[in-house]
Amino acid sequence: MKIQILGTGCPKCRQIEANAREALAGTSLEASVEKVTDLDEIMNMGVMMTPALAVDGVVKSAGKVLSKDEIVNILQGGK
């Protein structure tokens, strides 16, 4: 599984990355966390508002700092 954090490196982007790492640590899932900071790449994924989070190339959320619990729910297939 590949988790992507889309954002240019602002505090909110860093917060969602930390939440994603914490969420991942609380599961038995094997996944990598990758930061996508290039605006062209972010726009090519259709994201108009950061921070955004994608799992295996599918954007699950945009424009919101997801909590650890929300990310756990996503990773477990809740959304």
Partner 1 sequence: MTECCCGSDVPVKLMYACSGAANTGYLADNATRRLAKLGIGKMTCLAAVGASLSGFVESAKAAGGNLVFDGCSVACGKKIFENLGIPYNHFVMTDYGVEKGKTEITPELIAKTSFALAEKIADE
**H or E stretch at 22:** helix 11-25
Among 11, 27, 29, 69, binds partner 1 (CB under 8 A): 11
Write the interaction track for partner 1 spanning residues 35-54; mark x where CB under 8 A is met and - where it is not: ----x--xx-xxxxxxxx-x
With binding defined as CB under 8 A, does residue 63 bind partner 1?
yes
Is there binding between residue 18 and partner 1 (CB under 8 A)? no
As annotated, the active-site residues are 10, 13
Buried b (16+ CB within 10 A) or exposed e, 39-62: eeebeebebeebbbbbbeeeebbb
